[in-house]
Amino acid sequence: MKRHEHTTLVWTVLIIGLVWAVYSATADLLVQVDRLRETLFICGNTWLIQSVI
């Protein structure tokens, strides 16, 4: 019984670690996408302004 509980604990920790890693990666990715969108937006606006002028 003791061994089974220990195994369950290990799996729980592994799953939490995995979920946290995925969450962190996703958060980083979203931040990068946001920055990229801002950069593209700024470049697009600059290009538009230059085209008009």
* % of residues, the chain, pLDDT over 90: 74
pLDDT of 21 reads 96
- Tens digit of each residue's pLDDT (9 = 90 or more) over 4-14: 778 999 999 99
C-alpha span between 53 and 42 (Å, rounded): 16
Q: Is 39 helix (H, G, I), strand (E, B) or coil?
A: helix
C-alpha span between 13 and 24 (Å, rounded): 16
pLDDT of 28 reads 93
C-alpha span between 2 and 14 (Å, rounded): 19
| 16 has a pLDDT exceeding 90 | yes
**Does the global pTM surpass 0.75?**
no
Band of the pLDDT at 1, cuts 50, 70, 90? low
Q: Give the burial class of 45: count Cβ atoms within 10 A of its Cβ; 0-12 exposed, 13-18 middle, 19 or more buried.
A: exposed
Give me the residue spans of the domains in the chain.
1-53
Start-to-end CA distance of the chain, whole Å, equals 77
